[in-house]
Structure 1
């Protein structure tokens, strides 16, 4: 299995046998690939394995960064693995916490196991043949699997399939390597099963050889989802093998694929799936990617993908997006999604009152930006002006008047609704509208 790279490199068109620097991966991409590999070997710490918050929302890893681990008992309970990134800024060394893993166990064997997990993390970035002089730390369940396998001489242990795969990876590097090592398959596997194993092992060449042999739409769908859900560059390359074909998928399968790409925080894969969707899904509904953006927005640290999805949507798709996407992002003060939607001319009527109520006084500038970038407001959106009066936000009211909301109509509506028109904010807006109206009349007379 290839090492996890902390920098992207691509073939140099001018020098075909050379590589050139192609940018930094996001920290989340690196984390998801590492977590996937550790899980496939049964090496995730049993309490948690979490990336630090400051690396969320698409933050890239620093250039020329290195990675290292420490393992020790905690101050209160359990044993911790801390993963750090270190690099230089302005000639000075910088070290930042990146990932923390924990087990609640405190025995000597728990400590040994956490050190072996730290070793697996280091090898994932620096390389090293896991098969040579390997040391295994097995929990009780894994020990039972090995004992039963030796005692019963079984080839097939369906009830312990996942744990068997994990042990084989830790002993041989990958199940594909195991096949090459012993000259036989560890289980009675179909071509689809072998292809799934190749995805999980990250064996791209093996996957390429197996994919043309796959038949049956259900098997093909399962393999597609498995490839999409595999993090890292190899997962994207496997996904592209499907997208480069003319294979059709159902809307439900493609939706699940897009959601898996979101869950592993692979913004590049989400973009590939969005760009290729119409080539693989028949009669794709206009709200498909608006719904995906809403799905992405609910995941911690993934809101930036939601904004990117909306940036790529057409005006028709933006107008068909769930209304709460604009409303929730505005209320939360996340301007990237509203800006992407404003540039496509979204109507913001429904979101104005919640925004004015929650953020109007301190963030009136947000609405100015959105209106200037193209967000539409209906001339008869009197409720928005009423919210400005109710929550004492005259600056937003003035911006709405500037962008066509009819204050004269609002005045008549407010009287009919028995709204309070004696407050300072209403009077300030009335004076502003009158001044604007007189200025317009003066301009007309001059012409």
Structure 2
């Protein structure tokens, strides 16, 4: 059987298992077992056992549960409310006014949570009642929240970047640094879109209720100090080389507990809830990663990725054509799977093809994160859409329609980093020489 046909058979097996409701991790392991048993001469049982063991004590992977725990702690603290109070006085004169709280609030919280869903839940919980009560248009409230929350995947520390780094053996610190400028680019695109809509429909944006003096703005900004300290404590230690991402994650957990406790709304009950929720999420992601690791090893034994790369190279696709095809593939896949599953399912197959046409794996990781961000706001399995639906009770298709312009802005962001790859690569080159 030819390699494309072998891959097609295995892919049909995987889709059948997923459609049958089997866990993603188990489906990946079964697909790997089938590949080893029927399409290679490797001892399947031994490969499964050694791969599970080897990937169960990965030091870089230890950062994952710690960053998840940090996000869960912040989700249950008063820091998000303080963030709204600190930002709002500065944004009243901008076109779009307090709608920018969604964009900037998501960007700030993304820098301490690493999770798109946690960002949507935390910022949405503080901003939705305020913006709705002041009469802002529903479509822009939902769209800015759904779109901007995807920044939780891109602005470091990013959980999905840790997953990609572990799966592809890329430096997590370099990935974090590479995500800074693309993250700021998307913040600029989102902010620009809100301003454009405010200029087009000035009557839709409520008038500013109150004028703030410079002194009042500075006093309100004090509420942002705890979040900024947390960002500096986590990201600063990574960028200065003082700590690895895993060490910095541990620092972040300690700082987040301390700051949440000082905020006055965080006690032992909230700490226990955060710990249990973080444990569940971490176990789910780790289990998926173990399944993906086995699949990656199995694919190596079968030689499918290498031969598929040679087969696709035979079409003589340019890098741009390959990326266009992969964008469609990832968006369609993201309509049915969560972002982490998309990454771990595809890296072992896709990466050899990408490297074969001369694309930098570090750059590709940021591109992949942006495309996965797009899938977070596409039905039927757009996680941000589900989170916002849970907060508001609004029909998920209505939320998806409001998020459509931000899907297009994310696509524009992917195009811009493709045309100007220096947006991704320049900071890692400068900071990690």
Q: Into which bin does the TM-score normalised by the smaller protein fall?
A: under 0.3
Q: Which structure shows the higher helix fraction?
A: 2
Q: Which structure shows the higher strand fraction?
A: 1
TM norm structure 2: 0.23
User: Which protein is bigger by CA-based radius of gyration?
Assistant: 1
- 1 or 2 for the larger relative contact order (CA 8 Å, sep ≥6)? 2
